[in-house]
Amino acid sequence: MIRGIRGATTVDVDSEKEILHSTNELLKEMILHNKIKAEEVASVFISATNDLTSSFPAKALRKFDEWKYVPVMCMQELDVPNGLSRCIRIMIHYNTSTPQREIQHIYMKRAISLRPDLKEE
C-alpha cells in the first residue's frame, strides 16, 4: 500500500544555501523516523512558497545517491493570505505496510505551526 509521509520546514532567508540545507535536514529526519528505503518510494512532491526562488528544493534530494531514480517534482505552494512564509513542504509517497497512525510526519522550525495536533508531547 502507498502511504503519504508529510514534512515541512522553513528558512530564514531566500538563498540557495538555506533552501538546500533546510530541505536536506527535513528529508534526513523523514527518512530516519520512517525507516524509508529509496527503492520503496513511488514519488516525492516538494512545494515551496512563492517567496522562495533561489533554488529548487529537490536539488537536496539529488545529493542522496540511492535516491537517483526516485521521481521528484517541485511546485509552488498556494499563495494564501496570512499563510506561513518561506516554507518548504514535502510529500513522500511510500510503499509500506505501516499503519497510517504510525507514520511519523515531520514538522520543523516555524512549520510546526502547520500541524500542532501532531506535536509530540
- Which residues does the annotation mark as catalytic? 6, 62, 74, 77, 89, 107, 115
- Give the integer Cα–Cα distance in Å for 46 and 77: 9
- Cβ contact 24:63 at 8 Å: yes
Contacts of 80 (CB under 8 A, 6+ apart): none
Q: Which amino acid appears at position 31 of this protein?
A: I
Contacts of 71 (CB under 8 A, 6+ apart): 42, 43, 44
What DSSP element (H or E) covers 15? none
The end-to-end CA distance of the chain, in Å, is 29
